[in-house]
Amino acid sequence: VAQNPAQPEFHQAVKEVLSTLRPAIEENEKEYRREALLERLTTPERVIMFRVPWVDDKGQVQVNNGYRVQFNSAIGPYKGGLRFHPSVTLGTLKFLGFEQTFKNSLTGLPIGGGKGGADFDPKGKSDREVMAFCQSFMDELYRHIGADTDVPAGDIGVGGREIGYLYGEYKRLTGRYEGVLTGKGLSYGGSLARTQATGYGLIYFLEAMLKENGRDIKGQTIAVSGAGNVAIYAIEKAQQLGANVVTCSDSTGWIYDPDGIDVTTLKEVKEVHRARLTEYKEKRPNAEYHVGKGVWSVKCDIACPCATQNELNLDDAKMLVENGCYCVAEGANMPTTLEATQFIQSKGLLFSPGKASNAGGVATSALEMSQNSERLSWTFEEVDEKLHRIMNNIFANVSETAKRYGRERDYVTGANIAGFVKVADAMNAQGIV
């Protein structure tokens, strides 16, 4: 804490992981306590911070803070998204980069952990302003990334439009047409099914978790938060599998739609118009719109937080339990506070941590990297099938690891230990670096 002041989210993420590693460390003290392994694991290899000046539509110069946290490259090149949101600080990106290291390890693919972004808010900006910002951001970032060193992707506030502008500027500066970013458009090296991957992957993971516990997603009522990339495709896949998803939310309000969220309308409002959820309500008169926070007050069997960190707190968890919810599957990164996670687990609910259940996005990004290296494009079905297999494998690994350490059905411990062991072994093999 003294070394990283004012970074509460980073402290929270480290505490959550370290508190569950004890059984693995005690079993192999000699390996996992040597040469300050844990200190190195919790310290980023490199942090790049830079100024991002750009000119708005009024001709005024604006300045934002840009970052790239290259957290851990023990098992592969740094890989992780870029977040553009006014709340972004170095602490946020360190927490995300730390989590990413374990998540990427869990995918079974050769990718290290990184994260980046800026305190820039794309909301309400014109396309030209977003382009000017992305170009300026890349004017510094390009010298630190590359197809074999660090491959950023999207995250909150960074979707197809932003990735396109970033890619164009990288190409202009370096003259290289390479897979340096993922989440690219299909006309310039993107992968089919990447857009859907995190949301679909979450539901594939959820299905596997329910199956192990003798349940089925069909017919279940699900509360989802968020209305962005992860939420939209989680809702779509859950409904394809016969569930009834009744909520979604954005940063200003939330929707309760008893008939089930209409994904076509949601995509039109969020992906096409980039509008607020009040527009969804206008198009679906049976739905309710509420200002502020509140999706967790709804009666549901399963809750899928898919918006942002710490959006599900202890009071929310208590409401979910009172309303009969038996499962929480995280789509966002660290959306549940530590106290809420502990409460949920103590009440015997099934709980999947984001680093396992939302790993489908980065796994599919790694599939995009493979296609770029091979100069090939796989079909939607091929990518989706691989994603499904990867999510089943992650679940099996997490579940087996939990059992092996006497913590059956504790998927938090299972995910943290399984992710840790591979990275720790690779770090030890590579010496003190």
Stretch near ligand NDP under the rule CB under 6 A, chosen from 43-51, 304-312, 370-378, 411-419:
304-312
352 is in an annotated binding site: no
250 binds ligand NDP (CB under 6 A): yes
Q: Token pair of 381, please?
A: 């079905």
CB closer to ligand NDP, 81 vs 414: 81
Among 358, 399, 401, 416, binds ligand NDP (CB under 6 A): 358
User: In angstroms, rounded to a whole number, what is the distance separating the alpha carbons of residues 201 and 196?
Assistant: 8
User: In angstroms, rounded to a whole number, what is the distance separating the alpha carbons of residues 276 and 274?
Assistant: 7
CB closer to ligand NDP, 76 vs 81: 81
The 42-81 site mask, x for binding ligand NDP (CB under 6 A), equals ----------------------------------------
The 196-215 site mask, x for binding ligand NDP (CB under 6 A), equals --x-----------------
Among 13, 209, 227, 387, binds ligand NDP (CB under 6 A): 227
Position closest to ligand NDP via CB: 228
Among 228, 353, 414, 419, binds ligand NDP (CB under 6 A): 228
Stretch near ligand NDP under the rule CB under 6 A, chosen from 9-17, 55-63, 245-253, 255-263:
245-253
The answer to whether the beta carbons of residues 237 and 329 sit under 8 Å apart is: no
Q: Shortest gap between Cβ of 331 and ligand NDP (angstroms)? A: 6
**Of 101, 103, 96, 94, nearest to 78 (Cα)?**
101
Amino acid identity of residue 313, one-letter, is: N
Find the helix or strand (DSSP H, E) in which 302 lies: strand 302-305
**Of 154, 33, 145, nearest to 85 (Cα)?**
154
Those residues with Cβ within 8 angstroms of residue 43's Cβ, 6 or more apart along the chain or in another chain: none
181 binds ligand NDP (CB under 6 A): no
Among 15, 30, 94, 115, the active-site one is: 115
251 binds ligand NDP (CB under 6 A): yes
333 binds ligand NDP (CB under 6 A): yes
User: In angstroms, rounded to a whole number, what is the distance separating the alpha carbons of residues 224 and 238?
Assistant: 10
**Of 114, 85, 39, 115, nearest to 228 (Cα)?**
85
User: In angstroms, rounded to a whole number, what is the distance separating the alpha carbons of residues 88 and 82?
Assistant: 10
Q: Are strands 61-72 and 112-118 parallel, antiparallel or unpaired?
A: antiparallel
Among 72, 229, 244, 416, binds ligand NDP (CB under 6 A): 229
Among 91, 116, 190, 226, binds ligand NDP (CB under 6 A): 226
* Helices assigned H by DSSP within 271-337: 278-283, 314-322
97 binds ligand NDP (CB under 6 A): no
Q: Is 115 a catalytic residue?
A: yes
When computed from its CA atoms, the radius of gyration of the chain, rounded to whole angstroms, is: 21
249 beta partners:
254
Stretch near ligand NDP under the rule CB under 6 A, chosen from 16-24, 55-63, 126-134, 301-309:
301-309
332 binds ligand NDP (CB under 6 A): yes
Stretch near ligand NDP under the rule CB under 6 A, chosen from 130-138, 282-290, 331-339, 420-428:
331-339
Among 118, 230, 325, 340, binds ligand NDP (CB under 6 A): 230
User: Coil, strand or helix: which one is 254?
Assistant: strand
Q: Which residue, chain included where needed, has tokens 């918006």? A: 307
Q: Token pair of 25, please?
A: 């460390």
The region, left, alpha or beta by phi > 0 then psi within -120 to 50, assigned to residue 274 is left
User: In angstroms, rounded to a whole number, what is the distance separating the alpha carbons of residues 118 and 87?
Assistant: 9
Tell me the binding residues for substrate: 79, 100, 103, 154, 365
User: What are the residues binding ligand NDP (CB under 6 A)?
Assistant: 87, 154-157, 198, 226-231, 250-252, 306-308, 331-333, 358, 361
Please give the positions annotated as active site. 115
Annotated binding site: 79, 100, 103, 154, 198, 229, 365
